[in-house]
């Protein structure tokens, strides 16, 4: 029964346009009559080895394998560089990696594409000076205002060694993964369902930011479109009935915390379930379309808006009259539903597009679902002891953060999936039917608190398992600076059941809870847990499984988004080589200066 209800869907690209490919550029010393000829086969073999390594180790977030395109010939000068570029344009290359085993002609062979993320691996060998070319071409990239990543192995290799050293492999995978995220976002849509929610500036969608920094367009939809499609039944009726039955089977109702005299009748609750399921179908169709609608003579609606991410305003105009978006957001953001295990969608509550972008970043880097949460409370050890009689110990001895929100905390956030023996939110294609079932069993659905949501709805309640390495992050838009990222790596924790209950029920008990401890350093914004909370830039955050801070820093540098605070060890930071020209003693300040000078990836605001 579990297998039948939670089959794993094959990977598919559900958006318009082809998936970006990785271009491999083998460059070579162009001098004939001995020099080039002696290196031709080895250089092309290096390119083929890298291409094979990338394809064997990376997938797109949709689960499909990453394809590599190699230049037809080694690149010894401008003509061959132009021929390579023409091939890359035909093949849809979105990221380029240049490989060199010898000296080559710097800016004659470099990738000159204005926006494509680019890196160069200079072979660390003594027979031919690949490192000399690497240094020369990095200087050319600085001079031409075309940032590029420098990859150079720590240990010298022999000329006959075609293995990829572990340190080089790590850099290549991080660069390519982040570069593909950049290329994947370009040309896609943020679907704004509604407008500003409760004065939250994160839902004041800045279309210029999305266009100039991410290469995305924006589609704005009035929430009355949901009413139109619900009343006119512009959704797949067969899928609706199947989804509703699945919900009745797997979505357990929990306690109704509303006062008895305010509670909805059973009939009213059933109606809100029906409307909540309809909303989920409609939001998904708005994002990516649905061919079934064309069969129902709704050809325009069948197309969708090529939405790679979206947000739903909800509060208050919608939720004062109709069910909230909690079910819609939670189930779409999860890696499974009535159709089985599939790629999560990105849908932010309260139309907080800046958190939606963070969810998108996290998903593109991991292939996994994300948790959207309020950064609700810092609980100090003294406060915990005063309220519960229990003093935190171990990882929690310095206090912890309470992350909680009514909306799109994916059910994967229960931590009922495992990776390397620890709780995790796994890449969706690795989620098993049994893990999907356990996530549902760990979740209860509660009638929305009517004092907040007068139209009712269904909110999730679960507690994230402790021991999951995780990264909390948030993008803020600051007047005079632009976008700024904040990152805090840490770990989820378990509290004793009675302590959790006391603390959790001091706030809205119908929402999912994650107890999180950021890794502190004893100085700056990470002096202690309280200081992290005090420096956080907004009311919302995203929590991604695993320590992905280094990848987020790399991705942000590609997009020219500075990082204002992070606790990533300095040896893990990987930014374009040219960032070092802006200073090396204070990397945070250098990052701000570099991002200011280079400006948004796709133009200035």
- Give catalytic status of residue 374 as yes or no: yes
Of residues 526 and 407, more confidence is placed in: 526
Q: Which two tokens stand for residue 53?
A: 């390594």
Of residues 552 and 4, more confidence is placed in: 552
List the domains of the chain with CATH numbers. Answer: 21-185 (3.40.50.1070), 189-598 (3.20.14.10)
Proportion of the chain above pLDDT 70, given as a percent = 98
Integer Cα distance of 242 and 338 in angstroms: 7
> Can you give the pLDDT at residue 159?
87
Residues 256-313: pLDDT tens digits?
A: 999 999 999 999 999 999 999 999 999 999 999 999 999 999 999 999 999 999 999 9
Residues 189, 216 contacting (CB under 8 angstroms): yes
> Can you give the pLDDT at residue 128?
78
> Can you give the pLDDT at residue 3?
41
> Which of 364-373, 393-402, 538-547, 596-605 comes out lowest in average pLDDT?
596-605
Backbone angles phi, psi at 455, to 5 degrees: -85, 5
The one catalytic residue in 80, 374, 494, 591 is 374
Residues 192, 220 contacting (CB under 8 angstroms): yes
> Can you give the pLDDT at residue 4?
42
- pLDDT exceeds cutoff 70 at 604: no
The SS3 assignment for 406 reads: coil
Long-range contacts of 163-166 (CB under 8 A, 24+ apart): 163/49, 164/49, 164/50, 164/53
User: Cα dihedral sign for 13, 18, 22, 26?
Assistant: positive
How much is the mean pLDDT over the chain?
95
Q: What residues form DSSP beta bridges with 361? A: none
Integer Cα distance of 428 and 442 in angstroms: 18
pTM to 2 decimals? Answer: 0.96
Mean pLDDT value of segment 317-332: 95
- Give catalytic status of residue 222 as yes or no: no
* Residue 110's pLDDT band (cuts 50, 70, 90): very high
Integer Cα distance of 83 and 424 in angstroms: 45
Integer Cα distance of 285 and 425 in angstroms: 25
Beta carbons within 8 Å of 514's beta carbon, 6+ residues apart: 371, 373, 402, 403, 404, 409, 413, 463, 464, 492, 543
Residues 423, 416 contacting (CB under 8 angstroms): yes
> Can you give the pLDDT at residue 386?
98
Residue 295: half-sphere exposure toward Cβ, Cα within 13 Å: 7
Mean pLDDT value of segment 152-168: 93
> Can you give the pLDDT at residue 5?
67
Per-position b or e across 514-546, b if 16+ CB within 10 A of its CB: bbbbbbbeeeebbebbebbbeebbbbbbbbbbb
- pLDDT exceeds cutoff 50 at 1: no
> Can you give the pLDDT at residue 507?
87
């Amino acid at each position: 029964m579990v297998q039948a209800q939670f089959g794993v869907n094959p990977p598919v690209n559900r958006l318009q346009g082809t998936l970006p490919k990785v271009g491999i550029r083998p460059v070579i010393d162009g001098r004939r009559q001995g020099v080039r000829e002696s290196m031709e086969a080895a250089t092309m073999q290096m390119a083929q080895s890298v291409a094979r390594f990338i394809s064997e180790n990376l997938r797109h977030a949709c689960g499909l394998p990453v394809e590599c395109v190699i230049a037809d010939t080694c690149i010894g000068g401008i003509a061959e560089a132009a021929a390579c570029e023409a091939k890359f344009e035909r093949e849809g290359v979105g990221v380029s990696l240049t490989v060199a085993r010898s000296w080559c002609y710097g800016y004659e062979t470099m990738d000159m594409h204005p926006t494509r993320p680019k890196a160069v691996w200079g072979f660390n060998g003594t027979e031919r000076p690949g490192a000399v070319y690497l240094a020369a071409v990095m200087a050319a990239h600085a001079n031409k205002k075309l940032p590029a990543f420098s990859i150079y192995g720590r240990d010298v290799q022999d000329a006959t060694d075609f293995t990829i050293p572990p340190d080089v492999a790590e850099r290549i995978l991080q660069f390519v993964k982040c570069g593909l995220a950049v290329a994947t976002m370009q040309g896609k849509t943020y679907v704004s369902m509604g407008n500003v929610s409760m004065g939250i500036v994160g839902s004041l969608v800045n279309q210029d930011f999305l266009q100039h920094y991410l290469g995305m367009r924006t589609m704005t939809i009035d929430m009355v479109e949901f009413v139109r499609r619900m009343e006119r039944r512009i959704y797949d009726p067969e899928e609706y009935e199947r989804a509703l039955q699945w919900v009745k089977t797997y979505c357990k109702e929990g306690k109704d915390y509303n006062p008895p005299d305010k509670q909805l009748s059973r009939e009213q609750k059933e109606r809100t379930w029906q409307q909540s399921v309809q909303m989920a179908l409609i939001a998904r169709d708005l994002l990516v379309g649905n061919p079934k609608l064309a069969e129902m003579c709704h050809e325009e609606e069948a197309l969708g808006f090529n939405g790679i991410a979206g947000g739903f305003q909800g509060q208050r105009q919608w939720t004062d009259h109709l069910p909230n978006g909690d079910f819609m957001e939670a189930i779409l953001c999860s890696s499974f539903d009535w159709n089985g295990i599939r790629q999560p969608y990105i849908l932010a509550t309260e139309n907080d597009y800046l958190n939606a972008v963070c969810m998108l970043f996290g998903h593109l880097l991991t292939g996994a679902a994300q948790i959207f949460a309020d950064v609700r409370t810092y609980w100090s050890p003294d406060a915990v002891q005063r309220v519960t009689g229990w003093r935190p110990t171990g990882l929690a001895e310095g206090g912890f953060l309470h992350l909680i929100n009514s909306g799109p905390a994916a059910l994967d956030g229960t931590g009922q999936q495992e990776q390397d023996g620890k709780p995790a939110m796994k890449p969706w294609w690795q989620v098993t039917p049994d893990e999907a079932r356990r996530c549902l069993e760990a979740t209860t659905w509660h009638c929305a608190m009517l004092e907040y949501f007068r139209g009712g709805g269904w909110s999730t309640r679960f507690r994230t398992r402790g021991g999951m390495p995780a990264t909390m992050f948030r993008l803020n838009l600051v007047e005079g600076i632009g976008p700024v990222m904040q990152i805090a790596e840490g770990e989820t924790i378990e509290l004793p059941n009675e302590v959790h209950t006391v603390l959790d029920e001091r706030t809205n008990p119908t929402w999912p809870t994650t107890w999180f401890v950021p890794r502190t350093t004893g100085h700056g914004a990470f002096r202690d847990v309280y200081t992290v909370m005090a420096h956080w830039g907004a009311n919302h955050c995203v929590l991604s499984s695993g320590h992905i801070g280094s990848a987020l820093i790399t991705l942000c540098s590609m997009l020219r988004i500075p990082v204002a605070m992070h606790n990533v060890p300095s040896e893990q930071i990987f930014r374009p080589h040219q960032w070092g020209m802006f200073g090396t003693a204070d990397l945070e300040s250098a990052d701000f200066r570099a991002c200011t000078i280079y400006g948004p990836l796709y133009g200035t605001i």
